[in-house]
Chains A and B, each alone.
Chain A
Amino acid sequence: MTNLSGRANTVRRTVGSPEAVAATDWLLPMASRLNFVRRLAKRRTAAVSFLILFAVVVLAVLAPVLPIADPNQINTVDRLLPPGQAGHLLGTDELGRDLLSRMIWGGRVSLVAGFGAALLSLLIGGSIGLVAGFFGKGVDSALMRLTDVVLAFPSILLAIGVIAALGSGLANAMFAVAISGFPLYARVVRGSVLSVRELDFVEAARSIGMSSVHIVIRHILPNVLAPLIVAFSLDVGLKIVVTSSLSFLGLGAQPPTADWGNMISSGRNYMRTSTHLIMIPGLAIFTVVLCLNVTGDRIRDVLDPRLKNT
């Protein structure tokens, strides 16, 4: 326990006077959240990654109000312009659509698909892992064998299978990717639950008369959150790649909707003459995934109580 003093100094009470505290707020020391961001930014690569991600997200969110061209406006005269042209900063694609605008609007779709699929995976896999780990025995065996079955499928293949059943489209693609990706979370959560449920405070919670459901949600879940968040931050990158791959195969977002995956797909016909059509969306996927992984790594360090002061 070398971290006592450092943490004690930073998590001092900024909670208001008792009178000002609302009925539910009496348990949340806010200072620890500010502190979390401060420590996240302490490593330069992580800080830069985080800023890049932040910028990408802001651009995507602000797409409707930014002064950019309509991403689906076809202009056959100005087709396949290289980057750096007046009015078309990143050039145009094979139909003369502005690439910058399509990148920003496509980023919206790719990010939503990536985060959405990862979140859905987390919800499915996390619940399975919690229940399996806490209740053990038959429940555990049944749920984990199911997980193993899904794990045994190549994820793209499984996703294609799910899409074959549900029909193509972005929502179905997200769902398909989420299904094929939940075993990661189920395994991570189950493993952590197995170790946490043996700790004395779980027994102590029982001894004050707490029910199993209550214990799982209030005492086990927060203690397995750290590995879960890390898995999530790494998984979002993976999910962006997989949903992009599905779009590349024509199973995700349907034209004319832009998405980084189907932009690469349609650009590959002009790979020799207009490399920017695949380079730019490819680079975007690469950068976002890299930044997500670096940030995820740092989040893991920040959440690990043994590394509190780094």
Chain B
Amino acid sequence: MKSDRSPPPLLKVVDLQTHFFTEDGVVRSVDGVTFEIEATKTLGIVGESGCGKSITALSAMRLIQSPGRIVGGEIRFENRDLLKLSEAEMRAVRGNEIAMIFQEPMTSLNPVYTVGFQIGEAIQLHTDLSGREVRARVIEMLRLVGIPSAEQRFDDYPHQMSGGMRQRVMIAMALSCNPKVLIADEPTTALDVTIQAQTLNLMRSLQKEFHTAIILITHDLGVVAEVADDVVVMYMGKIVERASVGTIFDAPNHPYTVGLLRSTPKLEDDHNDRLPEIRGSVPSPFSVLTGCRFHPRCDRATDICRAEEPDLIQSDSTHWVRCWHADGPPLQMQSSAPTVESRP
């Protein structure tokens, strides 16, 4: 999907900084993140647990709770800086223009209300529809997300539905006010594999219908390959690589991205081989690291990596990498790496 004229981005996050002020010190969960997304496009944000991807999403909706705080940056949405809006103005944006679905469909719905009521609540918050009109709209949304006999299901309580059904309800709720941006925080992680595919397909078809931009947060590269147009890879609160989905999978240029891709099991692999892993583990968020944040785990690390932090450098029109050695020899993709060992 290449087009020459590039429309202004719908949502643009510039140098976002979200820190958590805990008793043990400041955690820079999101430390200077910049990305943008256009209408009807899907942006994948990938990274390990704790890399700041969920916090980035919550920051975009200004849902960060104490002790966390957005300390800097800009979130431009249709020529407004969301960080400068009042809380009341922000409430009018949430759900109405930017909506969110969460990882755990089992707990994201209030157990004491019917699903119809809860979707209706979202609609009532942002429109002046009457009770009857709200009901009609809710049933239409339930149909759209593929819930059979929607009219009867309207009066079901969340515990009467399966996880996949509930995630559909969450999607219906998020899309009920026709938002321009949908933030999906690990929407398929808690679901069975077959249901995952259904849910992703549903999100894609609804995206076409509603022209929604989707920010998809996940640690599952398979999901990203399936649905994303652009990918942002995060490590310890920073973007380490940003590119189109094709580039990320075909020509990754940051050792962390390569490590992530290598540690994904592939069918053609010899099953007696150990799955390559990224050595070491994520350092404590309180630790003070000089130089590149990835250097303790990086095979490419040299003196400069230990001394100075690299910038996110644009290597071509759609590819940014944060690495001192980005223009070095291409990284090994196949698992002939020295970390591979055979099982006894």
Contact = CB atoms under 8 A, between A and B. Distances in A.
A29 B117 CA distance: 11
Given A18-B135, A27-B117, A209 B95 contact: yes
Contacts of B107: 199-201
B94 A206 contact: yes
A8 B162 CA distance: 12
A208 B94 contact: yes
B94 A209 contact: yes
Contacts of B66: 137
Interface stretch (A70-78, A150-158, A173-181, A217-225): A217-225
Contacts of A11: 157, 160
Interface string A204-220: 11111111000000110
A23 B132 contact: yes
Interface in B166-224: 170, 173-174, 177
A29 B114 contact: yes
A201 B113 CA distance: 11
Contact of A209 (B126, B130, B132): B126
Interface string A16-31: 0010011110110100
Contacts of B61: 207
Contact of B100 (A21, A207, A211, A305): A207
Which applies to chain A's interface (DSSP): helix, strand, loop or mixed? Answer: helix
Interface string B124-152: 01100011101100000000000000011
A207 B131 contact: no
Contacts, number: 103
B306 interface: no
A276 to B, nearest CB: 49
Q: How large is the interface on B (under 10, 10 to 19, 20 to 34, 35 or more residues)?
A: 35 or more
Nearest to A31: B155
B61, B108, B116, B120 interface centre (most CB from chain A within 10 Å): B108
A202 to B, nearest CB: 8
B63 A207 contact: yes
A1 interface: yes
Given A11-B157, A223-B110, A200 B131 contact: no
A27 B113 contact: yes
A205 B108 CA distance: 9
B265 interface: no
A204 B112 contact: no
A283 interface: no
Nearest to B95: A208
Contacts of A204: 100, 102, 108-109, 170, 173
B198 to A, nearest CB: 20
B152 A305 contact: no
Interface string B238-258: 000000000000000000000
A206 B155 contact: no
A208 B122 contact: yes
Contact of A15 (B134, B155, B159): B155
Contacts of A21: 132, 135
B96 interface: yes
Contacts of A208: 94-95, 99, 121-122, 125, 173-174, 177
A113 B169 CA distance: 47
A165 interface: no
B283 interface: no
A97 to B, nearest CB: 50
A203 B63 contact: yes
Nearest to A136: B66
Contacts of A210: 91, 95, 121, 125
B120 A27 contact: yes
B109 A305 contact: no
A137 B159 CA distance: 33
B94 A203 contact: no
B191 to A, nearest CB: 15
Nearest to B135: A26
Contacts of B130: 23
Given A23-B131, A27-B120, A206-B63, A201 B159 contact: no
Nearest to A11: B157
Given A27-B116, A223-B111, A209 B159 contact: no
B96 A209 contact: yes
B160 A7 contact: yes
A282 to B, nearest CB: 41
A7 B159 contact: yes
11 contacts: A13-B155, A18-B151, A21-B135, A23-B132, A204-B100, A204-B108, A207-B99, A207-B102, A207-B174, A219-B110, A222-B113
Given A201-B111, A204-B170, 15 more contacts: A4-B159, A7-B159, A13-B155, A15-B155, A18-B132, A26-B132, A137-B66, A199-B107, A200-B104, A206-B63, A206-B94, A207-B63, A208-B174, A208-B177, A305-B159
Interface of A: 1, 3-4, 7-8, 11, 13, 15, 18, 21-24, 26-27, 29, 137, 199-201, 203-211, 218-219, 222-223, 305
